Amino acid sequence: MSDEENKFPGENNTGHFWDDDLRELDNEPPTWWTIGFHASWIFVIVYTLLYPSWPMIDTHFKGLLGWTSIAEYKEDLKSIESVRAPYENKIKDMSAADILADDNLSKYVTASGKVLFGDNCSACHGAGGQGNVGFPVLADDDWLYGGTITDIETSINVGRQGIMPGHAAMLDDEKIDALSTSIFEGKAVENASYTEAGCIGCHGADGKGLSFMGSANLVDGIYRFTAADQLSSIKHTIKYGVNNPADSQSRIAVMPAFGGAKLSDTEIKKLAVYVHKLGGGQ
Ligand code: HEC
Ligand code: HEC
């Protein structure tokens, strides 16, 4: 384009015009922008020199600082472990009861016990130990096998499996109905069948159960086998029993043993303290 066609001679336009006077200028960019531009490419070069960056055929440029995210993670882990070490060393040689008695330690142990509980126990006993149908509540103060820290530790360590025979051959339906109603009303021991059929041998003269064998308390209105129709559920238990291999309708109640290969002694102590704190006990 010649100068005669340029309607704005002397101006630093590029000679591109649209609609008579709309034109492209060739100005320097503003100073702030230029500084920003140079600062950013200098930053990129410095950064890629210092940190792991450019890919190569079977490796990558490692960076002059030698930083890696895995090394940083391991550093963090080390500092966490150095905080834990004094606690872990103490716990190793202490009984669960002594840990429970120590405020500081039991707080520490409860935190890791909660994680262990989530991984190993909540599938059966519920996330906060609130129980599930067929799996006893651990978050109350009602225990089949006793609620002391030692009882709880034993339950976890060696497992539990209460056994009750079925009574269909010994008691007719009428007697089972009447006995179930007595239990439902909290009057188990007042029913003659309670003694005659031998319930007394396992559930005790007062009907409160014996913790060494896990025979449930029958007079507290708390049920270990809960059901919407509790009365029918009681009848079912009396008729077919619990963990009774002679009857396929028997209730199944098996607490697996966690001692030995499954969990370490320290982990079991942590769990015992955690569970004890959920439900309390003596
Ligand atoms: C496969 C299911 C299952 C798992 C997993 C399980 N439990 Fe149990 N647990 C049971 C059953 C069933 C019983 C009741 C046993 C019985 O009635 O004889 C029980 C009983 C107990 C008892 C005794 C309760 C009482 O009233 O005396 C404790 C304590 C206990 N479990 C803690 C735990 C802890 C802690 C874990 C995790 C390490 C765990 N359980 C994992 C099924 C399970
Ligand atoms: C050999 C011992 C034994 C005898 C005999 C026995 N029981 Fe049991 N019973 C148990 C045990 C142990 C449990 C708890 C089982 C478990 O939870 O693992 C139980 C549980 C129960 C339950 C369930 C309670 C609940 O909380 O859900 C009822 C109801 C019951 N028994 C009633 C009776 C009656 C009634 C008799 C007599 C006709 C009787 N039992 C005889 C050992 C016995």
User: What CATH number corresponds to the domain at position 154?
Assistant: 1.10.760.10
* Residue 168 included in any domain: no
Which structure tokens are listed for 234?
């009681």
Q: How far is the CA of 96 from the centre of ligand 1 (A)?
A: 18
Ligand nearest to C-alpha 221: 2
Which structure tokens are listed for 144?
């089949």
pLDDT grade, residue 15 (50/70/90)?
confident
Average pLDDT over residues 153-169: 96
Separation between Cα atoms, residue 245 and residue 249, nearest integer Å: 9
Which structure tokens are listed for 278?
């959920």
Mean pLDDT (the chain) is 93
What would the pLDDT profile of 45-56 be if each residue is shown by its tens digit? 999 999 999 999
197 shares a domain with 81: no
Looking at 43, 67, 91, the residue that finishes a domain is 67
pTM exceeding the 0.85 threshold for the entire prediction: no
* 203 marked as part of a ligand binding site: yes
Average pLDDT over residues 105-127: 95
* Residue 165 included in any domain: no
* Residue 249 included in any domain: no
270 shares a domain with 154: yes
Residue nearest to atom 38 of ligand 2 (CA): 199
Contact 113, 182 (CB under 8 A): no
List the domain range (segments joined by +) for residue 21.
1-67
* Residue 250 included in any domain: no
Ligand 1 shell residues, CB under 6 Å:
120-121, 123-125, 135-136, 138, 143-145, 152, 155-156, 160-162, 214, 253-256, 258, 271, 275
pLDDT grade, residue 281 (50/70/90)?
low
Q: How far is the CA of 218 from the centre of ligand 2 (A)?
A: 8
29 shares a domain with 61: yes
Looking at the 3D structure of the chain, how many domains does it have? Answer: 3
59 shares a domain with 197: no
State yes or no: pLDDT of 280 exceeds 70: no
* Residue 166 included in any domain: no
- Collapse the DSSP code of 216 into the 3-class scheme (helix H, G, I; strand E, B; otherwise coil) and give the result: coil
pLDDT grade, residue 127 (50/70/90)?
very high
pLDDT grade, residue 5 (50/70/90)?
confident
181 shares a domain with 74: no
Sign of torsion, CA 49 50 53 58? positive
